[in-house]
Structure 1
């Protein structure tokens, strides 16, 4: 059985051997994967609501009731009718659809291949130096279409399972976790075998892997305090190096137990 502290120590040692390349690979993956986002917190929203629609304890009941009855509801209906009858609504919908399609295409053609390439890099530096070309090796492999379909099905299955409730979606995400790593050493493997091998690898390892992920919460918190700077220069490569060590252990275990062979897991 693998030991969490040992995986993390090995992962740390490996990424530090090729520190700047590891940082750059993670940064490129982060950018292309849409990992840098900004959002408005609920506090800002609640503050706005309270400022605009809140009231003091000594408000005028009669004025409020009159405004609500005569003005508020009619304004809502008039505004809604105007929005849906206006050409702006159709333009807005069209733009939203275009952006959704573009996002989907980018995920298929860029995000998925780069994720697999990132795994190939971190698995490769366990044995020796790897170039940044590892990020785009899928494009050169001749198996781009097959890997994209496998990754798409993986994401689709996770989404469908998550509709049942949160827990089944989480369980399936861990069951499918090793698929991008399997593809990173053998892009030509069949979709069925990639799912099957990942499932066998994670059998009995889901909970421990979940705990492994939780062990990085402190680092993620510190990264947030530094506005992601610590994440870029330390936490992200650390996590990826550790995940590579986990796959290396499960891969060796799969070969030893015979539910995968060297013709399927080709190495890095």
Structure 2
């Protein structure tokens, strides 16, 4: 059994030694994975119509005289916009799949290793070794695809499954060639009965992020290392529990390939 206080105390001890390294790694994770980033929705209001402007669109009887003739030129413009949007989407997706996901796994590996007194920035490039890259990309793509399907059903199941699959990057950081199905299966098993506790753990950082938001939203960047270090401690606890329960073996979650 683990408690939030225990995990956070361990994370603080690690950060005392290597905070700025953790900050740089957290910044990379936030950029490539969107992790720990907040997005503010802003409503943009146009100025109200003046009376004479409104009369240009209506007659005195209140009948609308909109003359929206969608001719071929308009359709061409719409088609161009859709193509541009599609291209941007494909570029973002390719960035996430082929660069973002491997960097995220490398970042998670850094924090796991740091929790064991091995804070090495070279772990960021861990996934780009020829023997690891393919397995990591395939597994992360499979995880994101499954999560996307759950979000298509309903928001709540998607969120629940996101917590269920949350250990996949850490599992890959330990064993990049574990296999995409096994990584997802093991993550689901490790988080079984723990998802609500993990949710509450994440919620416990909300106050820090709100405080950080006062500094033009940039303060949250300095909270990310604390959160990432705590989550790495959580993984190590769940990993130990999984081994003790016979869900996996020690060798299955230990990378024998230490090349960077």
TM range (shorter): 0.7 to 0.9
* Within-5 A mapping of 1:102-121: 102-121=91-110
- Identify which of structures 1 and 2 has the higher relative contact order when contacts are C-alpha pairs closer than 8 Å and 6+ apart: 1
2:63 is matched with: 69
Query: 1:63 and 1:104, CA in 2 relative to 1: closer, same or farther beyond 3 A?
Result: closer
Unaligned 5+ runs, structure 1: none
Note the C-alpha offset of 1:52: 2.4
Query: 1:41 and 1:64, CA in 2 relative to 1: closer, same or farther beyond 3 A?
Result: same
Give the helix-richer structure, 1 or 2: 1
* Within-5 A mapping of 1:173-188: 173-188=162-177
CA distance in 1, matches of 2:34, 2:194: 29
2:11 is matched with: 11
1:191 aligns with 2:180: yes
CA distance in 1, matches of 2:166, 2:232: 12
CA RMSD across the alignment? 2.6
Query: 1:228 and 1:13, CA in 2 relative to 1: closer, same or farther beyond 3 A?
Result: farther
Write the deviation string for residues 234-262 of structure 1: whole angstroms up to 9, x where unpaired: x0000001100100100011111111102
2:231 is matched with: 243
CA distance in 2, matches of 1:54, 1:5: 59
Report SS of the residue matched to 2:6. helix
1:81 aligns with 2:81: no
Maintained 8 Å contact 1:123/1:244? yes
Note the C-alpha offset of 1:93: 2.6
1:52 is matched with: 48
CA distance in 2, matches of 1:112, 1:54: 51
Query: 1:98 and 1:219, CA in 2 relative to 1: closer, same or farther beyond 3 A?
Result: same
